[in-house]
Structure 1
Amino acid sequence: MLDGFKLGRVNGTSYYRTGRGPVLVLIHGVGMHAGFWAPQLTALAEHWDVIAYDTLGHGGSPLPPEHPTLADYSNQLRDLLDGLGIFQVCVAGHSMGALIALEFALSHPARAGAVVAMNAVYCRTPAQREAVVQRAALLRGGGIADMSWRQAALDRWFGAPVPPGQLENTAWVGASLAAVDAVGYARAYALFASADAAHAGRLRQLAVPALFLTGEEDHNSSAEMSREMAREAPFGSAVALPGERHMMSLTSPGVVNAALTHFLSSLSLTQAAQ
């Protein structure tokens, strides 16, 4: 999906880069890789220098520690930017990538000009937490060999049955899940399962423009979660796209790209400058 984009590796991290302008970094979720962002790389490169990279344990990047923290993933981004000679960026992340984006903005406030948290989780209900913890335990126990977890993920993300117009996207995501490093995925998912409240009480320190973007039909990364995060962030706003689910950046790239462009175009160049 990323044919024609510049591929690089810095400080062990594999990334793609395209376009010119202020720097925008895109962070994928658990089980995906930089190719997840192909529709956004193409659309946003006209006005932005766009970087999409493989997070720890995914794609061409190294494994995280056995028991990783969000700081490990945030520091990976810091090291990537240092290697590229880039100081300040706008950062957008999807799902677990949203947690990483927020952690980066909170831990390195001078380096984040703005943040977009797409389909982010925040303070799950007990039932939601129990379900995701059980999935993490299954993966930790070697359950990744049982392909039923992959189908269950596709059902959550795309719907069951899959809408006819989304068969190709579903197949691509399924293939990405099938190819993911089992150890890297299990370690990342264990963190994803436990980090939904990592930013509770901290978002009031987020002193940059922040967009919390999700789909109305994404019940695990719900519109209420995004609204709550936006209420806590001093410069936060929440948008829930009607009819969209978890993989909306793939299933409805035009709608998502328009929302991203609207937010990013509202930033001053000083906010977004390298």
Structure 2
Amino acid sequence: MTLHHELSGPADAPVLVLGNSLGTTTALWEPQLPELAERFRVLRYDHRGHGGSPASRGPRRIDDLAEDVLELLDALGVRRVSYCGVSMGAMVGMWLAGHAPERIDRLVLCCTTATYDTARPWEERAAAVRANGTGSIAPAVVSRWFTPALRERSPQTVARFEHMLSTVDDESYAGCCEALGELDLRAVLSKIVAPTAVIAGARDEATPPESLRAIADAIPGASLSVVDAAHLANVEAPDAVAEILREHLK
């Protein structure tokens, strides 16, 4: 699996990997990219079947997505990185920091969870996408990504993310849903040694602040910040998230 990726910033700077949420592409990180690229060699990538990455029948586990990233780093000759992820991208970051701690310098986990109470919603979403395509679920899913205030203030942002989700390969998306349905990273958290910043969206219904508190409590020395946003906090509260990244990724 050769993931589509983009590199920005000085070639000799420390590498910072940015991981996306399910249904989004490298464009997710555009609000923070200009500042981050001044200090880091920023590596953005697309998950399987997202953006420019090839489709696949799978993944079936979060391990598959994380191993894709390790293969990409190896192909680029990059040994050690800092990693920032949103939602599914943060799940990949937890897996990497727990299973390959020698590869992760610093870690940022935004609007995510280590496990879900039940797999049923993910199984139902996978079935819906296989039957009717990602476009059929885009309005309902994206409505949970942003607060009502953002949706009213910036309908163009909502439309852009609905289109982004609608372009994701159906089978790849369904496979990701199944991977999230069986997600359980709780045993990994105590093994993470990279300095970790955890960011919660105060109005995030998909991964509520208590999910992020559980992660921060389980990772030794982790900090928790809560910003005024829903699920895609780095888009809705770009300045607040940028400040956290600025302080943590020193």
What TM-score, normalized to structure 2? Answer: 0.92
The reply to whether residue 259 of structure 1 matches residue 244 of structure 2 is yes
In structure 1, C-alpha distance between the alignment counterparts of 2:189 and 2:134, rounded to whole Å: 37
Q: Distance in 2 between matches of 1:192 and 1:201?
A: 16
In the other structure, the counterpart of 2:182 is 194
Amino acid at match of 2:132: G
Instruction: Tell me which of 12, 15, 18 is aligned to 2:8.
Output: 18
Seen in structure 2, the aligned counterparts of structure 1 residues 205 and 152 have a Cα distance that, compared at 3 Å, is: same
1:173 — aligned with what? 161
Unaligned stretches of 5+ residues in structure 1: 1-10, 266-274
Kindly indicate whether the alpha-carbon contact (under 8 Å) linking 2:200 and 2:208 is maintained by their aligned counterparts in 1.
yes
Distance 1:262 1:180, change over 3 A: same
| 1:78 paired residue among 70, 84, 88 | 70
Distance 1:125 1:234, change over 3 A: same
8 Å contact kept, 1:117–1:211: yes
Conserved in 2, the CA contact under 8 Å of 1:133 and 1:194? Answer: no
Q: 1:130: Cα distance to partner? A: 4.0
Q: How many Å apart are 1:162 and its aligned residue?
A: 5.3
2: distance between equivalents of 1:160 and 1:133?
27
1:57 aligns with: 49
**Residue 136, structure 1, aligned to residue 142, structure 2:** no
Q: Distance in 2 between matches of 1:184 and 1:167?
A: 27
Label 1:174 to 1:264 Cα distance change in 2 as closer, same or farther (>3 A).
Answer: same
Aligned length: 248
Matched-pair contact (CA < 8 Å) for 2:113–2:215: no
2:108 aligned counterpart, secondary structure: strand
Q: Structure 1 residues 125 and 192 mapped into 2: Cα distance closer, same or farther (>3 Å)?
A: closer
> What is the TM-score of this pair, normalised by structure 1?
0.84
Q: Which residue is 1:268 aligned to?
A: none
Q: Which residue identity is paired with 1:250?
A: V
Contact 2:196 2:222 in 1 (8 A): yes
Alpha-carbon separation, structure 2, partners of 1:187 and 1:114: 29
- What does the per-residue CA deviation read over 1:138-160, in whole Å, with 9 as the maximum and x for residues that have no partner? 224x232662x211112111245
Where does residue 145 of structure 2 map in the other structure? 157
For structure 2, which runs of at least 5 residues remain unmatched after alignment?
A: none
